[in-house]
Chains A and B, each alone.
With several copies, the nearest count.
Chain A
């Protein structure tokens, strides 16, 4: 199963987003929160993200959802530091909405890294009103 890692500057936000996503559909995606710095302060942490990626990973790879620009930088660094033999991709998607989409797709039996990433990025088109 494609794993999902949620990287926010806030540990609470990352966990809360995983909570909401864990409720989508019956089949469960592999969701790991990596929010805040090592000590829980607001920020992101490359080592923490690396660990989360490893926890979420299996051979199908991992999609990483991020909130802000410096989360992207730390996620990239985490990926370089891991040098894993599975693929890890950062989604260019709104963090909560992308995680929900990705969780539903990842839980599907025909999910691939590409399809999970694409569904996360489709969340950019998601409209809430009207």
Chain B
């Protein structure tokens, strides 16, 4: 386990990178959400993570506490489905980081996060939601670390690759959960915004880890 300060710095850097990326992708995410939703996913994610970056700058608790604050902040800043899904699940999974960030706790975090998203949203894989990017990403990450004994960086690269496929997989699907499900067949052919923002976040985590 690396030093506390180094961990804290890494988390801060990751949060900043994620916030910057989501601000940069605001228009793109909004476009995706305007096709099959209410055109606010870009605003939700960029506003939410900008507030998170502000909030977290001042914090100097341990990694678990910082990540918990990320969740709490998203929950109060983001009023759409992504608020409780991202924010509530990060809050919940932050418990797994009590011993700091290790390859074991990162797997536990990822699993707890996925569980909570599924539990909260009740979406199966194939319902055209963030779950379609998240599930293969978490499965790949866990397998890479626990079965193949790969270093976290390699595992994370596999997770990004898996999430990317998940995002592509959402395009031809009919939405069964969330706002897009109201469009029923008309949702087919459109890429899911939440799966896309999930991919962007993982890409930034990878970039920072590298």
Contact = CB atoms under 8 A, between A and B. Distances in A.
On whether A and B touch (CB less than 8 Å), the answer reads yes
Interface of A: 23-26, 36-38, 41-47, 68-70, 73-74, 76-77, 80-81, 100-101, 104, 108, 130
Contacts of A104: 182-183
B79 A41 contact: yes
Interface of B: 34-40, 75-81, 83-85, 87-88, 120-122, 177-179, 182-183, 186
23 contacts: A24-B38, A25-B37, A25-B186, A26-B36, A26-B39, A42-B38, A43-B40, A43-B78, A45-B79, A45-B83, A46-B76, A69-B81, A69-B178, A70-B80, A70-B84, A70-B179, A73-B84, A73-B88, A74-B79, A100-B182, A104-B182, A108-B186, A130-B122
A26 B34 contact: yes
A24 B34 CA distance: 9
A46 B83 contact: yes
B121 to A, nearest CB: 6
Contacts of B87: 46, 77
B120 A73 contact: yes
Contacts of A46: 75-76, 83-84, 87-88
Given A69-B178, A73-B121, A108-B186, A25 B36 contact: yes
A122 B38 CA distance: 22
